[in-house]
């Protein structure tokens, strides 16, 4: 794994991030001591993954959802006049 000092990381950040995104992790060191490991983020899996429709069957939307409270809203904002 490649190790770079802070100054080099600042001047070459775009290049280093591009390499890391392709799977080439690297370490940033300060005064020769490793302080940070930079690695690509993976696609979330398991409990971290968000699923579309995960609440299917738990909730229901009423058929008149888009008209709920219509009279009160029209009264507040002067609709229908």
Rounded (5°) CA angle 38-44-47: 130
Which pLDDT score, from 0 to 100, does residue 49 have?
A: 72
> Are β-strands 26-30 and 2-5 bridged in parallel, bridged antiparallel, or unpaired?
parallel
Delimiting residues of CATH 3.40.1620 domain(s) in the chain:
2-38
3-state SS class at 31: coil
Confidence class of residue 15 from pLDDT cuts 50, 70 and 90? Answer: very high
Strands annotated E in 23-68: 26-30, 33-38
Which pLDDT score, from 0 to 100, does residue 78 have?
A: 82
* Bridge partner list, 28: 4, 36
Answer CATH for 2-38 from 1.10.3470, 3.30.2310, 1.10.472, 3.40.1620: 3.40.1620
Helix-strand-coil split of the chain, %, nearest 5: 35, 20, 45
Confidence class of residue 6 from pLDDT cuts 50, 70 and 90? Answer: very high
31-74 confidence digits (pLDDT tens):
999 999 999 887 666 776 777 888 888 988 889 999 888 889 99
């Amino acid at each position: 794994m490649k190790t770079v000092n802070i100054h080099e990381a600042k001047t070459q950040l775009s290049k280093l991030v591009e390499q890391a995104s392709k799977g080439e992790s690297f370490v940033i060191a300060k005064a020769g001591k490793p302080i940070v490991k930079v690695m690509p983020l993976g696609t979330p899996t398991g409990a971290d993954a968000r699923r579309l429709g995960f609440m299917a069957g738990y909730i229901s939307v009423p058929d008149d959802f888009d008209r709920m409270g219509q009279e009160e809203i029209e009264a507040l904002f002067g609709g229908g006049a």
